[in-house]
Amino acid sequence: MTTGSRGVFSAVDATLGYLYQVRSALLWALRRQKNEPDFLVSIETLDDVTFETTGGNPTDLLQTKHHRKGSASLTDASPDLWKTLRVWFEGHASGQIPPTANLYLVTTSSAPDGSAAYRLRANSRDASAAQHALDATAATSTNLGNKVAYAAYLEASPTERTAILAKVCIIDAAPTVVDLDKELRDEVFWAAGREHHAAFLDRLEGWWLRRVLRQLVEATHDRVGSVEIEAQMADLREQFKHDALPIDEDLLGFTLDDATTAAHEDATFVRQLGLIKAGKRRIAAAVRDYYRAFEQRSRWLRDDLVVGLDLHKYEQRLYQEWELVFEAMRDDVGDDATDEAQEQAARSVLAWAERTPIPIRPSVTEPFVTRGSLHMLADEARIGWHPEFRARLEALLRTTGRTS
């Protein structure tokens, strides 16, 4: 917890630390894919982040330590350093961590020149000098917070310490959880146009978070395979091509709830369905599709994946296609049809709207986009289903104190 402006019970730093762990895992996985096609990655198994072969052999373990800028230094008695060494030395002693595994401490802290951590970096490496400094610290330091870690370290023989420290690599002054944005965008720069990097990364991270959540909650032996990551990347790449648009998974899986139903019960497009005596389930499906299309189109606009002109042209296409079907229905039903005949004919136009795919772009074939967009036009009373929908809507709204 922190005693910052958010109060003594704030868990901001801890939360940022967990987010850093999850984002770092994705970054390392994306980088690893460039040279290693098959691997498994997990959170909170052997270490904060663990990479394994597809056969389950741990190859790389990561400890991640996040601090907001200027708040920590990786000295020889640093708690972050010794907490990490404790995990690794106890893991080796218990046999959970194999001697062949590489051990990385990824931290936003900086290692002072000449410190043990400095000597365990890749570009200033002197593992023997680092061991000498750590031996001295463990033997002489009075830091009670590190006491258990010192004991675990000293329980290993000098030869064992040498072998373990040979596998340790300190990556200090690493980007913060916010600065990881740039690192992650660099890894996906080839997957989508530069102007769409943020939108692409948002969707990739959304999937990654849900996948990690499943790994943590549903099965202790679950791991995320590199093939899953590549498949997700490939799917997103297709969605960001010029003839496509991304369809967000949360909208695909959206289930109509009471709050959404209540929020739309007086909407004009729902009243239009009432005019033709559409069934309750049909109306519920319309509300669901309206919500999904409205939200998806809003996201496309926010992410600059479409512009207002794109949507205007699409709505013109929808209107023209509806107009052909609607006028044909009016010709067939005639001017003297009974109310029942008019309602039945109107439901046939609605059926056309429910079943006819009119993609906004050639590869956007998800039906809710068409159906929901038609209901959005119906909500503006630009289109309708009943042969006399405009006059009847006006009368209906007048009786309820609303105007069209």
pLDDT tens digits, one per residue of 191-247? 888 889 999 999 999 999 999 999 999 767 899 999 999 999 999 999 999 899 999
Res. 396 pLDDT band, cuts 50 70 90: confident
Q: Residue 201: phi, psi to the nearest 5?
A: -65, -35
Q: Dihedral of CA 308/309/310/313: which sign?
A: positive
Q: 298-313: b or e for each residue (b if 16 or more CB lie within 10 Å)?
A: ebbeebebbeeebbee
Res. 2 pLDDT band, cuts 50 70 90: very low
How far apart CA 294 and CA 155 sit, in angstroms, is 63
Residues linked to residue 10 through DSSP beta bridges, in sequence order? 2
Which helix (H) or strand (E) segment is 321 a member of?
Answer: helix 308-333
Res. 7 pLDDT band, cuts 50 70 90: low
Q: Is the pLDDT of residue 58 over 60?
A: yes
Average pLDDT over residues 149-176: 97
* Three-state secondary structure call for residue 295: helix
Residues linked to residue 225 through DSSP beta bridges, in sequence order? 40
Q: Is the pLDDT of residue 403 over 60?
A: no
DSSP for residue 102: E
Q: Dihedral of CA 55/58/59/63: which sign?
A: positive
**If 0-12 CB within 10 Å is exposed, 13-18 middle and 19+ buried, where does residue 376 land?**
buried
* Three-state secondary structure call for residue 44: coil
Least trusted range by pLDDT, from 3-17, 317-331, 337-351, 364-378? 3-17
pLDDT tens digits, one per residue of 91-108? 999 999 999 999 999 999
pLDDT of residue 370: 97
Res. 3 pLDDT band, cuts 50 70 90: very low
Q: 329-338: b or e for each residue (b if 16 or more CB lie within 10 Å)?
A: bbeebeeeee
Task: Name the percent of the chain lying above pLDDT 90.
Answer: 84
pLDDT of residue 192: 85
Q: Which residues, other chains included, contact 329 with Cβ-Cβ below 8 Å and sequence gap of 6+?
A: 345, 346, 348, 349, 387
pLDDT tens digits, one per residue of 299-342? 999 998 998 888 999 999 999 999 999 999 999 999 899 999 99
pLDDT tens digits, one per residue of 108-162? 999 999 999 999 999 999 999 999 999 999 999 999 999 999 999 999 999 999 9
